[in-house]
Amino acid sequence: MIPERALVLFDRSGLPRSSPSPSLTIDDIHAQVSLDMTFFWAMAFIAAKRIARSDTDSAFDLLRMMRGARDRIQLHRSGTPVPAWGTIPTPHDPLPPTDPPGQLGYLRELIADLSTLQPTTNAVGGLVTPAAVAAINAFVQRISRQLQT
């Protein structure tokens, strides 16, 4: 099926257009926010490890995925429809830095953003507890001190 917002230049086979996306229920939105939050906090720990090991390529990719999770959470919270999977987004944010100190600062900004949105996913059945968030923050602080020395 052709996605509803796709611009078709040539239609030689007569594929049908997909129907508009059904609106999500509040439970579906909570489940998606919980999934993105869990993903974000799990990747925050891994990204911090990669930054500490100066594996900047892996950290770069993780930071981009984490930013995507943050952006989806913000869209759900604001009530804006989230683009369909596979949609190529319009670039709106600069790419993450490629040096360990810059990546660590970027990671800290992402963590600050998520902490204001929803620090844990416990409220909607997620897996991230306040203790886990505190441990991730402590780990990032330790790496920050190590990079400064």
pLDDT, one tens digit per residue, over 1-59 is: 777 777 888 878 888 877 666 677 888 888 888 889 889 999 999 999 999 999 999 99
13 lies in a domain? no
- The whole domain housing 126 covers 40-79+94-148
Reference 37, options 109, 135, 108, 129; nearest CA is: 129
Answer yes or no: are the C-beta atoms of 114 and 82 closer than 8 Å. Answer: no
Supply the pLDDT for residue 58.
96
| Cβ burial, residue 23 (10 Å; 0-12/13-18/19+) | exposed
pLDDT of amino acid 80: 76
25 vs 89, more confident: 25
d(CA 67, CA 94) in angstroms, rounded, equals 11
Q: Is position 122 within any domain?
A: yes
Give domain status of residue 144, yes or no.
yes
pTM of the model: 0.77
| 69 domain residue, yes or no | yes
Q: Considering the chain, what is the average pLDDT of its residues?
A: 84
Q: How many domains does the chain have?
A: 1
Asked if the structure places residue 44 within a domain, the reply is yes
- Report the percentage of the chain scoring pLDDT > 70: 83
Residue 142 lies in a domain: yes
Flag whether pLDDT at 106 surpasses 90. Answer: yes
Look at residue 63 and tell me if it is in a domain: yes
**C-alpha torsion sign, points 70, 75, 78, 79:** negative
76: how many CB neighbours lie within 10 A of its CB?
19
The verdict on residue 56 lying in a domain is yes
Q: Which range is most confident: 7-16, 86-95, 116-125?
A: 7-16
pLDDT band at 117 (very low <50, low <70, confident <90, very high): confident
